[in-house]
Amino acid sequence: MSLDVKTHYPLQPHNTFAIECYADTFIEIASPEDLGGVVQRYNGGPFLVLGGGSNLLFDQSQIHTPVLWANLKGIELLETRDNEVIVRAMAGENWHEFVQWCLQRDYGGLENLSLIPGSVGAAPVQNIGAYGVEVKDTLYQVEAFNLSDGTIRHFSAEECQFAYRDSFFKHAGGSQWIIVSVSFRLSRHDHQLKLDYGAIRTTLEAAQIISPTIRDVSEAVVAIRRERLPDPRQTPNAGSFFKNPITDRQAYEQLIRRNPEMPCFELADGQVKIPAGWLIEQCGWKGGQLGNAAVHEQHALVLVNLGGATGDEIMALAGEIQNDVKLRFGVMLELEVNPSSRATPS
Ligand SMILES: Cc1cc2nc3c(=O)[nH]c(=O)nc-3n(C[C@H](O)[C@H](O)[C@H](O)COP(=O)(O)OP(=O)(O)OC[C@H]3O[C@@H](n4cnc5c(N)ncnc54)[C@H](O)[C@@H]3O)c2cc1C
């Protein structure tokens, strides 16, 4: 089967920041055979792998590295055990639709991750997380294709080296892999609900739900997210632009002495997570604007494209925010979003 190669292909519809950008070469990966064709034709890369474009910032107007759109489809039940199932979804499946597929069959574990934009294949790359749950909690295996030599490898959760919004696939050596499918170990009936994060419990109580099911939890999460987060179709954005910084105890003690009102979350390993949104807000950036790029008025962690912003403009705003937070708090904010220039040589 021949490869579907497009040239000077517009990427604006493929990124939730709605940045105008063109790929010199754009290849849709719709079948595993396409991957073999890519290795043969492009001699091992490099490539930029694209899922739903909800965590990428195109900070170049033209991408010279071939862009591979991971659009493999399919979901299947691999195994049924006493109280668990193993389910595999191909990388190009929409994440939220996959979560709904699981909920319809009463498979539990992903309900708190409802409505996160993007694809199944990108979920382990970032170790996506929300409302007290991360993908690593239920991940069974990642099937990935090596774009350098055409081999397939199965990574266990341990081999994925998950951390907060981080995994093996974001580091040197990891970028030569394209994730083909992801398998999850989910509960069948004895579900362990996680209700104590954010407004899940109060939302369920307000709906007078006393014994919630996994579907009730998902619906509560969807309602909270719809109310609180800007919809990229109306306000182009890529969710949290920065990671919440994690400091050791000593650095935290110094910070809290100077800023006694600073919120924080104690982590199990003794470190402390500080909400980046609070730091940004203290620096006066909430609702702030630089050219066509802005900080959302209700969410200081979300940068938005007001219309016609370039990736450079968004990065310039991000740089100003990083400088101000560093000056005032001595904390360097790390990007959660992936700039395309860091993944591809120009
Ligand atoms: C409104 C909004 C809310 C969000 N809320 C959350 C949230 O609550 N929690 C959270 O964790 N994230 C959140 N995000 C971020 C985003 O949804 C996730 O990071 C998501 O997993 C990105 O998926 P994607 O398919 O769009 O990835 P892309 O943006 O296309 O790619 C992201 C990265 O993964 C790589 N990649 C993509 N597919 C593959 C593949 N098949 N193989 C190898 N590498 C691949 C890309 O090269 C890139 O480095 C939010 C984003 C938005 C816009």
Please report where in the chains the tokens 């010199």 appear, as a residue: 24
Q: What are the residue ranges of helices labelled H in 30-116?
A: 32-42, 95-104
Whether residues 178 and 137 fall in one domain: yes
Average pLDDT over residues 290-318: 97
Whether residues 81 and 223 fall in one domain: yes
Q: From the candidates 111, 240, 313, 340, which is the catalytic residue?
A: 240
Whether residues 96 and 200 fall in one domain: yes
Using most ligand atoms within 8 A of CB, pick from 110, 116, 171, 233 the residue to mutate for ligand 1: 116
The model's pTM: 0.96
Cα 43 to Cα 52: distance, rounded to the nearest angstrom: 25
Positive or negative, the CA dihedral 58, 59, 62, 66 is negative
Whether residues 245 and 189 fall in one domain: no
Q: Residue 346 — pLDDT band, cuts 50, 70, 90?
A: very low
Residue that is last in its domain, among 228, 253, 284: 228
Q: Is the pLDDT of residue 217 over 70?
A: yes
Residue 297 in tokens: 């008025």
Q: What is the pLDDT of residue 344?
A: 58
Q: Is 130 in the pocket of ligand 1 (CB under 6 A)?
A: yes
225 is catalytic: no
Distance, C-alpha 159 to centroid of its chain: 19
Whether residues 218 and 250 fall in one domain: no
Positive or negative, the CA dihedral 255, 261, 262, 266 is positive
**Residues 21-77: pLDDT tens digits?**
999 999 999 998 999 999 999 987 899 999 999 999 999 999 999 999 999 999 999
Q: What is the pLDDT of residue 1?
A: 62
Domain ranges, residue 102: 75-228
313 is catalytic: no
Nearest atom within ligand 1 for CA of residue 127: 11
Tell me which H or E stretch contains 134: strand 133-134
| Length of the chain measured in residues | 346
Using most ligand atoms within 8 A of CB, pick from 38, 50, 54, 175 the residue to mutate for ligand 1: 54
Residues 276/217, Cβ–Cβ less than 8 Å? no
Q: Residue 343 — pLDDT band, cuts 50, 70, 90?
A: confident
Residues 40/339, Cβ–Cβ less than 8 Å? no
**Residues 87-109: pLDDT tens digits?**
999 999 999 999 999 999 999 99
Whether residues 90 and 202 fall in one domain: yes
**Residues 283-297: pLDDT tens digits?**
999 999 999 999 999
Q: What is the mean pLDDT of the chain?
A: 95
Whether residues 126 and 213 fall in one domain: yes
- Neighbouring CB atoms inside 10 A of 104's CB total 9
Q: What is the pLDDT of residue 286?
A: 97
Q: What is the pLDDT of residue 198?
A: 83
Positive or negative, the CA dihedral 241, 177, 50, 225 is negative
Tell me which H or E stretch contains 140: strand 139-146
From ligand 1's centre to the CA of 13, what distance in Å?
15
Residues 72/29, Cβ–Cβ less than 8 Å? yes
Pairing of strands 177-187, 84-90: antiparallel
**CATH code assigned at 54:** 3.30.43.10
Cα 281 to Cα 300: distance, rounded to the nearest angstrom: 6
Residues 294/306, Cβ–Cβ less than 8 Å? yes
Q: Is 29 in the pocket of ligand 1 (CB under 6 A)?
A: no
Q: Is 49 in the pocket of ligand 1 (CB under 6 A)?
A: yes
Whether residues 287 and 303 fall in one domain: yes
Whether residues 89 and 65 fall in one domain: no
**CATH code assigned at 81:** 3.30.465.10
From ligand 1's centre to the CA of 35, what distance in Å?
21
Q: Is 122 in the pocket of ligand 1 (CB under 6 A)?
A: yes
Pairing of strands 293-295, 177-187: unpaired
**CATH code assigned at 269:** 3.90.78.10
Residue that is last in its domain, among 42, 70, 98: 70
**Residues 318-329: pLDDT tens digits?**
999 999 999 999
Question: Residues of the chain with pLDDT > 70: what percent?
Answer: 99
- What is the residue type of 57? L
Q: What are the residue ranges of helices labelled H in the chain?
A: 32-42, 95-104, 123-126, 200-206, 214-228, 249-258, 276-282, 311-329, 340-343
Q: Is 123 in the pocket of ligand 1 (CB under 6 A)?
A: yes
Whether residues 337 and 282 fall in one domain: yes
Residue that is last in its domain, among 70, 104, 120: 70
**Residues 125-139: pLDDT tens digits?**
999 999 999 999 999
Q: Is the pLDDT of residue 336 over 50?
A: yes
Task: Give, using CA atoms, the residue closest to atom 9 of ligand 1.
Answer: 129
- Closest C-alpha to 274, from 261, 262, 264: 264
Domain count, the chain: 3
Q: Is 52 in the pocket of ligand 1 (CB under 6 A)?
A: yes
Task: Give, using CA atoms, the residue closest to atom 6 of ligand 1.
Answer: 116
Q: Is the pLDDT of residue 242 over 50?
A: yes
Whether residues 183 and 47 fall in one domain: no
Using most ligand atoms within 8 A of CB, pick from 12, 120, 126 the residue to mutate for ligand 1: 126
Q: From the candidates 165, 185, 219, 313, which is the catalytic residue?
A: 165
DSSP 96: H
Whole-Å CA distances, 176 to 6, 150, 152, 160, 168:
22, 10, 12, 14, 11
Q: Is the pLDDT of residue 156 over 50?
A: yes
Whether residues 124 and 258 fall in one domain: no
2 is catalytic: no
